[in-house]
Amino acid sequence: MSADVELVGNFCVEGVSVPFIGSGFTLNATREILENADSTTFLSRNEILRHGNLVPDGLSLRTQVKFTCALRSGCESEDLISAAENFTAKLDQIAFACIDKRILLRNGMDEKSLNSYPFNEFSRGSLQHKVNMPINAISDQKMVPLVRITRDETMYSRLSTTLEVIVPAVFGDNSYVLYNRLIEGVRRKIHSMVYVMLDGFKNQKKLLPPISQVFFPPGWSSLLHLQILNCEESEQHSLRVKFHKLLNLSLSVPCIRCAQAITFAPTSILRSPHLYITSYKPRSKVSVVKGDYFYYHYMQGGVNDTGWGCAYRSLQSIWSWFNLNGFTDKPVPTHLEIQQCLVDIKDKKREFLGSRQWIGSTEIGYVLDHLLGIQSHYIVTNSGIEVLERARELAVHFEVVGTPVMIGGAQLAHTILGVDFDQDSGDCNFLVLDPHYTGSEDLKAVLEKGYCAWKAASFWNPAYFYNMILPQIPKIDI
């Protein structure tokens, strides 16, 4: 369910509708229509959409609601349904507060509050993201939200889960509209939670708590909300394939893996700073990296790698791209882990561990191949002038593959994020991410000081040779 679409009706596929949605109009479709993205037939079957207008301006409101209930062994389904019904029957007792914005939404608001428009004065903000970190199955059992209790020969399980609810707020909505939209969002989230848990119980014979996740698939203009069982990523493959087909998502690249989910927690590392460059005016065709990445640079994580760690940082930025775009859930390696990998494959001697030795594009290729199974193409040049001559190859890489490119030369490493290439004249500017920045995670400073900026071809020193590594997209199950 998209957070940017009004929650007003039902959706029916081949006679099967989503339960517990409520009143409103119904949209009808078939699996064939959805899988083939047949918009013509879809619109012909749903006349109500043919003259409708979508209003994209607004915000996404986020709230969290905790749901807790006790489940008796052998009666889990009945107890879960009963608890959900009791919870939704008391939704009018919920109040929504945003302390820093001095906003309170609740049932029975006075006339002044009902007619206020609290979000009109706010500008549209950006979503913060965070990569999911793996949880150790043994040491983190305290985090599992199911607690089992035995009493009077009856086994009880206590379910405790936090539901994340996100709904649209269009500019011009008053407090009454926002309050009711949030209540409806909570109601739907509870009902979908029950549906997902009961469906999982039917297949696995045990109740697993769901996790709520929000995605922003490539090419979409709205958010995608999914509730899935809290099980291993590999166990969700068949479900992901089903969703990819149903929502017409690409079957060749991941779109809804756990690592790609959006969270609203602030991150300690800048994410995709090139998206905030506003002063550059393109001269020709611009081809840039596809997807997000984290900006790794000198001095991060308490590691003083100034003068020797730029290639390590470039590798970390590239690795984060594979994280954020769903190709791996392995955490970004540390300097020591990178060195250990090179020692393990006999590229370096054991004395290399813990050293401050520089690495280059070849070593980065070895690490990506050994730890992630990712193959790479290489571009070798004899001087900085030849980097410009290979601009066409870089443009094709960003258009077709879209991964960040590491370039090493003159005892320096950088990451190329894109090119502005004129096919007629051969001129080219390069979008460069510079790992030599030593400051704090200050986006303004990074951009103003040129650590993420467009560079002319003269940026590459003609007195030195340069090697580039172009990581390829692995063939993996979505």
pLDDT at 271 over 80: yes
- Comparison of pLDDT for 363 and 220, the residue scoring more: 363
Highest mean pLDDT among 114-123, 149-158, 220-229: 220-229
Report in angstroms the alpha-carbon separations of 373 from 327, 366, 471, 476.
Answer: 11, 9, 11, 10
Backbone angles phi, psi at 164, to 5 degrees: -100, 120
310 given a catalytic annotation: yes
pLDDT at 158 over 80: yes
**147/278 same-domain check:** no
Q: Minimum mean pLDDT among 39-53, 79-93, 212-226, 267-281: which range?
A: 39-53
Q: Answer for the pair 72, 154: CB distance below 8 angstroms, yes or no.
A: yes
Domain CATH number, residue 422:
3.90.70.130
Domain of 232 in residue numbering reads as 58-260
Regarding pTM above 0.85, the answer is no
Q: What percent of the chain has pLDDT over 90?
A: 46
**91/236 same-domain check:** yes
Please, which pLDDT band fits residue 247 given cuts at 50, 70 and 90? confident
Residue range 393-407, pLDDT digits in tens: 999 999 999 999 999
**254/293 same-domain check:** no
Residue 375 pLDDT: 97
Q: Minimum mean pLDDT among 8-22, 91-105, 321-335: which range?
A: 8-22
**162/17 same-domain check:** no
Please, which pLDDT band fits residue 357 given cuts at 50, 70 and 90? very high
Strand partners, 470: 377
**CA separation for the pair 471, 365 (Å, rounded):** 8
Residue range 138-149, pLDDT digits in tens: 334 444 455 555
Residue (of 242, 374, 262, 277) closest to 318 by Cα position: 374
Average pLDDT over the chain reads 83
Which residue of the set 79, 173, 420, 434 is catalytic? 434
**359/429 same-domain check:** yes
Residue 203 pLDDT: 72
pLDDT at 53 over 60: no
pLDDT at 8 over 50: no
Q: What percent of the chain has pLDDT over 70?
A: 82
pLDDT at 39 over 60: yes
- Comparison of pLDDT for 447 and 233, the residue scoring more: 447
**CA separation for the pair 408, 465 (Å, rounded):** 8
Task: State both tokens at 225.
Answer: 């909300």
**179/295 same-domain check:** no
Q: Please check whether residue 342 lies inside any domain of the structure.
A: yes
Which residue of the set 255, 310, 341, 452 is catalytic? 310
Residue 125 pLDDT: 38
**67/22 same-domain check:** no
Report in angstroms the alpha-carbon separations of 203 from 20, 64, 128.
Answer: 21, 28, 35
Residue (of 159, 166, 148, 144) closest to 62 by Cα position: 166
Mean pLDDT of 327-334: 93
Please, which pLDDT band fits residue 114 given cuts at 50, 70 and 90? low
Q: Minimum mean pLDDT among 158-162, 204-208, 352-356: which range?
A: 204-208
Strand partners, 65: 163
Q: Please check whether residue 440 lies inside any domain of the structure.
A: yes
Q: What is the DSSP string of 343-377?
A: HHTTSS-GGGTT------HHHHHHHIIIII---EE
**39/79 same-domain check:** no
**241/305 same-domain check:** no
Q: Minimum mean pLDDT among 158-162, 272-276, 286-290, 340-344: which range?
A: 158-162
**130/149 same-domain check:** yes
Residue 25 pLDDT: 61
Task: State both tokens at 163.
Answer: 């539901």
Residue 144 pLDDT: 47
pLDDT at 311 over 90: yes
237 given a catalytic annotation: no
DSSP 291: S
Q: Please check whether residue 3 lies inside any domain of the structure.
A: no
Q: What is the DSSP string of 250-265?
A: -SSS-SS-GGG-B--S
Q: Please check whether residue 149 lies inside any domain of the structure.
A: yes
Report in angstroms the alpha-carbon separations of 399 from 51, 110, 453.
Answer: 36, 55, 20
Backbone angles phi, psi at 452, to 5 degrees: -140, 100
How many domains does one find in the chain? 3
Q: Please check whether residue 126 lies inside any domain of the structure.
A: yes
Residue 117 pLDDT: 58
**CA separation for the pair 47, 57 (Å, rounded):** 24
DSSP 294: B
274 given a catalytic annotation: no
Please, which pLDDT band fits residue 233 given cuts at 50, 70 and 90? low
* Cβ-based neighbours of 12, under 8 Å, separated by 6 or more: 26, 27, 28, 29
Count CB atoms within 10 A of the CB of residue 82: 13
- Comparison of pLDDT for 263 and 327, the residue scoring more: 327
Which of the listed residues 260, 289, 315 is the one where a domain comes to its end?
260
Q: Please check whether residue 267 lies inside any domain of the structure.
A: no
**187/312 same-domain check:** no
**28/69 same-domain check:** no
Q: Minimum mean pLDDT among 66-75, 106-115, 128-137, 213-222: which range?
A: 128-137
Residue 288 pLDDT: 97
- Cα 251 to chain centroid distance, Å, stands at 17
Alpha helix segments (H runs only) across 356-438: 361-367, 384-389, 391-400
pLDDT at 18 over 70: no
Assign residue 56 a region: left if phi > 0, alpha if psi is -120 to 50, beta otherwise? Answer: alpha
Q: Please check whether residue 268 lies inside any domain of the structure.
A: no
Residue 7 pLDDT: 43
Instruction: Give the 3-state secondary structure percentages of the chain, helix then strand then coil, rounded to 5.
Output: 35, 25, 45
Mean pLDDT of 457-474: 96
Give the residue carrying structure tokens 């970004």.
332
Residue 129 pLDDT: 32
Q: Please check whether residue 265 lies inside any domain of the structure.
A: no
